[in-house]
Structure 1
């Protein structure tokens, strides 16, 4: 036989479902009261705090107060002041872990009841892979630019619908143009000697675009 009134059983069931929902995501979720003290957090959040600070998370404990760097503590205090002031915002922070530097995105949202801020919700996620992918892409683009300069070649991307194109800096240098000039097929054609315009446009439209061949 179940104990308690229907209302208490319903509340207990709702709390159980909420806990299951919070623990079903890999995001780090924490809900704090009007003083900024955590009152509810999911399993992922507790695990992240233990990994970063070496302490077991518990309700009422403000993890950032355990940081050794006063500037970092002040930064987190400012975040909490902002969200408890009614502001919603997102920040990205890098944190050094035993296994290396990791990057996180933090979303802060105030909890408002009857036009009064009664707490806030903090949702964060590990974006290390995304940051590393962006850094790898920038490095690849840098190496591509350097290799093109050494080989004295350039590359471009053309939007067939608009006729507009973008080019690497070295290709712009080859054409003798800069970013302020129109990057269109029409303008590119004007750069050619009149005797070569028809020949080059036919080559471009038939050999490159229709034939799917590189522009040599």
Structure 2
């Protein structure tokens, strides 16, 4: 389990090392560099695409701090992520050539939980397919002769369907809605795992 948490920490450190405040990349695949950044005054994600004459395309503003946020290029678009002390999330965007809009295609989040790593883990959802995968843990205080033990919850695989979300629709509420749905799935899986462990006791 410690190895699992170390892997997450290394991944976050890697993200931080290669993230950027401003991303310059050909996002609309016309051979000309485009620009993505966060407006310091409004906390909006702003995209300027050459194919649209560098007209501003922007998200809704954010009430969360953007100090620990950044961009990272992906194969077909870009990722916007925000990392806090013990939790964080990422959002993957891609240019929709047909609609000529920036579309949110995936979200992911992680948590380290409390000091005992209760509630630690990570999850992701592919918004194009609706596939959700969650790998979470909880701390069982009564296990191991009441010394406690971190229990791995079996991988959660289910559908999480969203309507199409574009950059101009994106806001804090988008992530919080995902986090709430993810939390409910975690609590359901945790209760099921507890019951199975209880029934398995001699």
Per the shorter chain, which TM-score range?
A: under 0.3
User: 1 or 2, which has the higher strand percentage?
Assistant: 2
Larger-gyration structure (1/2): 1
TM score, norm. by length of structure 2 = 0.22
User: 1 or 2, which has the higher helix percentage?
Assistant: 1
